[in-house]
A = this chain, B = another copy of it.
Amino acid sequence: MKKSKDENTEGQILDAAKDVFQSKGMDGARMQEIADKAGINKAMLHYYYRSKQLLFEAVFKNAFSLLAPQLNTILNDDSSLEDKIKNFTMDYTTFMMKHPYLPNFIIQELNRNEDFILKLKENTGFPNLKKFKEKVADEINQGLIQPIDADQLFVNIIALNIFPFLGKPLIKAFTDKDEKAYKTFVEERKTEVSNFIINAIKKQ
């Protein structure tokens, strides 16, 4: 019987690397810290992943592959735009409350190395806006929503959902919230954000 991911060395390394890379970034992460956290010798990192760069890429692809399916709620679901927005906001916020380091990690590392996303784009399953754009055009034609550029709407939706996790320290400071109040605030956004967006686009 093959050992489960969190029992075998390779999986333990990946888990530890995820922790360290996601909280400290590529430049701030130390191979020794990853090894210590995994409870193994530093040489094992290179035995299984060859270099820091390759270990990092394994972690990054793993993280990105968690994020991409979330987008399917809004991109490739067959429901109405209103339902897409409601479901996405709910699902995405719930998911990110469980993985709060994820958005910042991805954004940060993509900004550090712009070419990196090109590699990801070649992958099948990279999020595609085609169906979403059709739906937007469709609902505009039907007079259900106001005219709006689909790309702009898409960016507005993800901006409103992702930003609270990127800008957490800023939000806490500006709005004078402690950790608990911040959590409540994000919890409320699960419905607040979709109402806001739907109000913004619906035909008066």
Q: Which residues of chain A have a CB within 8 Å of any CB of chain B?
A: 24-28, 104, 106-108, 110-112, 114, 116-118, 120-121, 126-127, 129, 146, 148-149, 151-152, 154-156, 158-160, 162-164, 166-177, 185, 188-189, 192-193, 196-197, 199-201, 204
Copies of this chain, tallied across the complex: 2
Residue of B nearest to A159 (CB): B163
Distance between A86 CB and nearest chain B CB, rounded to angstroms: 15
Contacts of A120 in B (CB 8 A): 173
Q: Is the CB of B114 within 8 A of A104?
A: no
Contacts of A164 in B (CB 8 A): 155, 159
Contacts of A170 in B (CB 8 A): 106-107, 110, 117
- Set B28, B146, B166, B200: member contacting A197, Cβ < 8 A: B200
The 5 A-B residue pairs with the shortest CB-CB distance in the complex, in nearest-first order: A159-B163, A200-B200, A27-B27, A27-B28, A110-B169
